[in-house]
Structure 1
Amino acid sequence: MKLEKNKKDQMTPIERKKAVENGTRADRVITVPFISEFKCYLSNISIRDFWFDAKKMARAERIAFNRYGYDRIVIGPNTRGIAEALGGTYIYPEKGVPYAATPLIFDYGKVDELEPIRANTDTRIAVFKEEAKVLSEEAQEIVPLEASIGGPFTIAATLRGVESLLRDCRKCVNELHRLLRVITDSQKSCIDMMAQYGLGIAMADPVANPALIGPSMYEKFVFPYTKELTEYAFEKTGYKASLHMCGNTRNIWKYLGTYQLNELSLDNVIDLEQAANEIGNKVPIAGNVDPVGIVMKGTKEEIFAEVQRCVKQGRKAKKGYILATGCDIPEMSDPQQLDWLMDAARACGEYRKRQ
C-alpha cells in the first residue's frame, strides 16, 4: 500500500495548497481533521505499536489518508517523543491515549544533568526519523508532511508536572527558563532532522493555554520560545509552522499573530467569525468543528451544517482559512463520521483565498 490521491477530489492536497497560496481557485477548502490515535483504531494497530514501530506508524498513516483524502499528514515525535527522549516516561494502555507517568524532575538540580537531544542519533527519535524517510518518498506530489514537535511549555509540564510547573512560574523563574532552554534546543534539533526529509513543522502547546497561566506568564515563558521555534522552522525547512492552541486564546492573539505560521488552529470554544476578523488578517486560521459534539456524536446533517457554518465564517479571514477540528477526534469515533466530515468539506464547493 502506498499513499494515493483520493478519487473524490479533483486535486491532490499539494495541488490544492499551491492553488490557495497562489490566490487561484482550489477544488475545495483545505481540510485537516486532527485524528491522532483514531488512526490506530482505524488501522487495527495497537497504540503502543503505533508509537514505537516506524512501519506500523507509516501503515496507519496510509490507511487513514487513503480513505479520507485530507490535506496534511502529521507525524511525531510530538510532545511525547521529545519528553521521552529527554528521560520522561509515558504509560501506553491497551485502549485510550498514552499519558505521562511520574514526573522526571522533582527538583531543578536534575536540569543540570539534562542536555538537549541530538535528534539524528537519539534512539527514541529514530523511529520517527525512519517514518519520515519512508513517507517523504511516497508523499512527493501528493500530500504535505509535517512533524509535530509539541510545545516547549507542555513538554516542560510533562517533565516537571503541571502543578509544579505553574508554581515555578512564580517561584523558580530562572530555573524554569533553564529547563525551557534545554527543551527548545531539543525541538530545534528535531527541526534540523526533519528538514533533511522535506517536512514542515507542527506545534501544539495545550498547557500554555492562557486559562492556566494568563497572558503575562504566556509572554514571559511561552512567547519567546515559540517565536524562536517558528522562525527557526521557517528558516530551516522553508515552510511556516502550524500551531494549535487549546482553549480561549483571544487574550494572547497579539502574540500568536506575530509568529511565522502556516496556520493558527483554534479550539472549538473560539468564535470563528471573530477570529477571522480580528486575527485572520495576520495569520491564516484553522478551525474549529467540535470534535466530540459534532464529529463523534453528530448526525450526518449536523456535521454538514457545522462544516458549512465554519467555512462561511472562516472565508472572512484575509490570510486564508483551513477547515479543521477544534482538537483531536476521540480515538473510538465511528470512522463513517469522518467520511461525512470530508464529504461536507467537498460539498462546500470551490475555495479561493480572500483577495
Structure 2
Amino acid sequence: MKSYERLERYLNGEEVDSFPFEVFSSTQALAHFMGYDHNDLQDEKVYDEVIREAFNKFDTDLVRIGYGQSTIGKFLGSKVRVNEHGNEMVQEFVLEDYKDLEKLYQKKNDVKREFEKIIEFGRNIKKRNDFIHIGSGMNAPFTTASGIRSAENILRDTRKNKEKLKELLELSLELNIEWVKAFTSEFGKTRFHIADPVSSLNLISIKQYEEFSKPYFSRLVDKIREITGIKPQIHICGKSKKMWPFLKEMNISIFSVDNIEDMKEVKEALEDKIAIMGNVDPVHVMKFGKKEDIREKLEIIYEDCKDSKSGLIFATGCDIAKTCPIENIEEFVKVVKSFGKAKIKNFSKTLDK
C-alpha cells in the first residue's frame, strides 16, 4: 500500500498496513542524494527518475503541485530570486504602497494564466507517471499576502493600517480560491495541504491571529470543503497552542504540528475533531540524529498518541533539509511500519462529514 491510498483509507475508518506517514521534502533530499540540485529537477527525465525512486524507497505516490509563500506575489509583480537551496526569496515587493492595491486587482487574470502553467506541469507529470496521485500544496491568505507585501510591513499594518491590510487579505483569499477551483477542475477532488507559516505565534500575537489571519483562513477551508467535499489538512510552523481552540471549530481534517509543540498535548486538545500529524524534529533528529534517536522519538509519539480518536499520522515537524541522510528517512519509514497495522479506534464517521 502506498502513501495516498493508505492515508485516505485510514481516515475513512479502514484498517491499513501501517500508520500513515510523511517526511516533508523527502523527495528533495532524495534528489540531492542522487546528485541533482533544484535546477536539475526542471528536467522531465530527472524529475521522473526522482519521484519513481521516492515511490520505491518511501512509498510516496503523492506529488503535490501548487505554490509557496512568494509565488502569488511573484505572479502579481514581486521580484523573486531562487537561493542556493532552491527556495524563492522576494527581493522587491510589488505592494510597497497601498495606493497600488487596485492595480493588483487588475492583474488577477495574469495570476490565473500562471496557475494554468502549474496545472500543465502536473498534467504532464501524471501522463508520464500514471502510478502517482496529483495533490495540491498551497498557502493560506495571511502567508500569501507576505509575498505581495513584506511581512514587516504587514505586521505594522495590523496596528496602523488595518482596513487596507484587510483589503489585501481579501485579494489573497480570492486568489487562493481561484487556485482551488482551477486545480479541482483539472485533477478532481483531493485533500488540499495548506501551509500558513506567517501565522505562527512566534511571529504574531493571538489577537493579531484572531483579527487578521483566522477569518480569512476559516473562509478558505470552508470554501475548499464546499468545492471538494473534503476537509483540508493544515501545517503551521512554530508555536500554535493558543490557536488550537479555534482550529477545532474549523473544517479541518488533519493538523500537522511543528516539533516545537508537544504531540500529547495536541492530541488531548484536538483528537475529538481532527487527526493529528507530526512531529519529529527535522534538524536535530532527522538531519543530525542517529537511527536510535529517530526510533526513540517515533516510539514516544506512538505511545502517547496511537489511540487518538480521530487518527494519528507520523510526520516531521517541518521540511527536512536537502542534506538529510537518506538512511535516516529510510529508518523513519521502517520504524513507523514496525508499529504494525493501524485503524482509528472508536471510528464512527469520516473526518470529512
Q: Could you say whether these structures have the same fold, taking a TM-score greater than 0.5 normalized by the shorter chain as the test?
A: yes
Corresponding position of 2:152: 163
On the 8 A contact 1:265/1:285 being kept in 2, the answer is: yes
Give CA-to-partner distance per residue, 1:52-84, whole Å, 9 cap, x none: 667765554333333211474322223332222
On the 8 A contact 1:85/1:122 being kept in 2, the answer is: no
Give CA-to-partner distance per residue, 1:108-144, whole Å, 9 cap, x none: 1121111263488513x3342123223456777x665
Corresponding position of 2:59: 69
On the 8 A contact 2:40/2:46 being kept in 1, the answer is: yes
Shift of 1:94: 3.8
Corresponding position of 2:286: 295
Whether 2:150 is the aligned partner of 1:150: answer no
Corresponding position of 1:273: 264
On the 8 A contact 2:69/2:146 being kept in 1, the answer is: no
Give the counterpart letter for 2:100 in structure 1. Answer: K
Corresponding position of 1:233: 224
**What are the equivalent positions in structure 2 for 1:23-102 lying under 5 Å apart?**
23-35=13-25, 37-42=28-33, 44-48=35-39, 50=41, 60-70=50-60, 72-95=62-85, 97-102=87-92
Corresponding position of 2:349: none
Identity of aligned residues (%): 26
Name which of structure 1's ranges 177-186 and 71-80 shifts more when overlaid on structure 2.
71-80
Name which of structure 1's ranges 209-218 and 173-182 shifts more when overlaid on structure 2.
209-218
Distance 1:331 1:14, change over 3 A: closer
For 2:51 and 2:110, the matched residues in 1 are separated by: 22
List runs of 5+ in structure 1 lacking aligned partners.
1-10
Give the counterpart letter for 1:106 in structure 2. Answer: E
Give CA-to-partner distance per residue, 1:254-290, whole Å, 9 cap, x none: 1111222231100001110111011121211100011
Q: TM-score, normalised by structure 1?
A: 0.88
Provide the secondary structure at the position in 2 that maps to 1:273.
Answer: helix
For 1:272 and 1:22, the matched residues in 2 are separated by: 22
Give the counterpart letter for 1:354 in structure 2. Answer: K
For 2:217 and 2:245, the matched residues in 1 are separated by: 13
For 1:138 and 1:241, the matched residues in 2 are separated by: 27
Shift of 1:215: 1.2
Instruction: Give aligned pairs, total.
Output: 342
Shift of 1:176: 0.4
Give CA-to-partner distance per residue, 1:136-169, whole Å, 9 cap, x none: 56777x6654211212112212221121110100
Distance 1:72 1:106, change over 3 A: same
For 2:167 and 2:31, the matched residues in 1 are separated by: 36
Distance 1:49 1:138, change over 3 A: closer
Give the counterpart letter for 1:347 in structure 2. Answer: S
**What are the equivalent positions in structure 2 for 1:7-26 lying under 5 Å apart?**
11-26=1-16
On the 8 A contact 1:65/1:73 being kept in 2, the answer is: no
Distance 1:57 1:32, change over 3 A: same
**What are the equivalent positions in structure 2 for 1:189-338 lying under 5 Å apart?**
189-196=178-185, 197-198=187-188, 199-338=190-329
Provide the secondary structure at the position in 1 that maps to 2:87.
Answer: coil
For 1:310 and 1:119, the matched residues in 2 are separated by: 45
On the 8 A contact 1:153/1:205 being kept in 2, the answer is: yes
Q: TM-score, normalised by structure 2?
A: 0.88
